[in-house]
Amino acid sequence: MAVPRDVRFMSLSNLAAVCGTLAGVGGFAHGVGEILQGSQSPDALVFDSWAEGRIAENLGGEPAMTLVPNLLIAGILTIGVSLALIAWSICLLERRHAGGVLVLLSLLLLLVGGGFGPPLLGMFAGLVAGGAHASRRTWGRRFADGAGRVLAASWPGLFWLTALNAVFLVVGSLVVGAALDLAVPDLFVYSLFLMVVTMPLATLAGIASRIRTRTGHEAGAVAASAVQQR
């Protein structure tokens, strides 16, 4: 039986790719603001990525931290790491240890000036990518009971909630704060809190769904073979 296209799309790998790419886009936006501030030292370890314009006024300046003592260099490094994060998320997540690399790139993004939301999103994307390679032998028994069935059943909803919340957190903030000129920074803080809750749950649900679906397919194949042999 062919698997519906929307079901094939709902995978942990695709969720990690979406969230990792969005993390890179968010970091890129911080880097642009830092470059526009020119070759000067940040006021403190934590500073505003954007000092002027609608993003500065409506989104609290997009706070960030950096270990680089020059904002121009910090911005260039932030954009470079953001592009690497995007490229890795799109092209290389099928590798077994891709999740760990995604976490390391996100940590580097945090340290050079990529803000707080985008690196956190990227780290959770690394967690999701790791879940895509979770061992069936390790997790199979843990999801064999009722909790596994509940998690597997919640996977489609958690997939879309997590993906759409990530889009809202990164793209929505730019649209609302910059394009629509609305000052609603608290809305995106709540979105960040939601991400912290949903992404680990989505990882567990995705693992449970994949394992139980594969187990179901194998049981169906055995039953069909037994019928044919009669």
Enumerate helices (H) and strands (E) in the chain, giving the number of each.
10, 2
Whole-angstrom distance, CA of residue 77 vs CA of residue 80? 5
pLDDT at 88 over 80: yes
Return contacts of 188-196, CB within 8 angstroms, 24+ apart: 188/59, 188/117, 191/165, 192/117, 192/120, 194/165, 195/120, 195/121, 195/124, 195/162, 195/165, 195/166, 195/169, 196/120, 196/124
CA-wise closest residue to 133 among 210, 219, 23, 19: 210
Instruction: State how many domains the chain has.
Output: 1
In a domain, 36, yes or no: yes
How high is the pLDDT of residue 77? 98
- Is the separation of the CB atoms in 71 and 52 below 8 Å? no
* This prediction's pTM: 0.86
pLDDT digit string, tens, across residues 22-50? 999 999 999 999 999 999 999 999 999 99
If DSSP codes are grouped into helix, strand and coil, which group holds residue 47?
A: strand
pLDDT digit string, tens, across residues 101-138? 999 999 999 999 999 999 999 999 999 999 988 877 76
Average pLDDT value for the chain: 87
CA-wise closest residue to 78 among 42, 124, 130: 42
In a domain, 2, yes or no: no
- Is the separation of the CB atoms in 121 and 26 below 8 Å? yes
Residue 48, beta-bridge partner list: 63
How high is the pLDDT of residue 7? 54
Structure confidence at residue 5 as a pLDDT band (50, 70, 90) = low
Structure confidence at residue 183 as a pLDDT band (50, 70, 90) = confident
- In the chain, the percentage of residues whose pLDDT exceeds 70 is 88
122, two tokens: 């990227």
In a domain, 144, yes or no: yes
How high is the pLDDT of residue 95? 86
If DSSP codes are grouped into helix, strand and coil, which group holds residue 54?
A: helix
Mean pLDDT value of segment 135-142: 72
Structure confidence at residue 163 as a pLDDT band (50, 70, 90) = very high
In a domain, 148, yes or no: yes
Structure confidence at residue 1 as a pLDDT band (50, 70, 90) = very low
In a domain, 3, yes or no: no
33, two tokens: 């603001």
In a domain, 168, yes or no: yes
pLDDT at 220 over 50: no
In a domain, 4, yes or no: no
How high is the pLDDT of residue 216? 46
Per the listing, tokens 């079901």 go with 7
Residue 46, beta-bridge partner list: 65
pLDDT digit string, tens, across residues 74-85? 999 999 999 999
What distances in angstroms separate CA 69 from CA 39, 42, 59, 117, 140, one per listed residue? 10, 7, 24, 21, 49
How high is the pLDDT of residue 145? 75
- In the chain, the percentage of residues whose pLDDT exceeds 90 is 64
Q: Which domain holds residue 57?
A: 10-229
Query: Quick one: DSSP state of residue 65?
Result: E
Mean pLDDT value of segment 84-106: 94
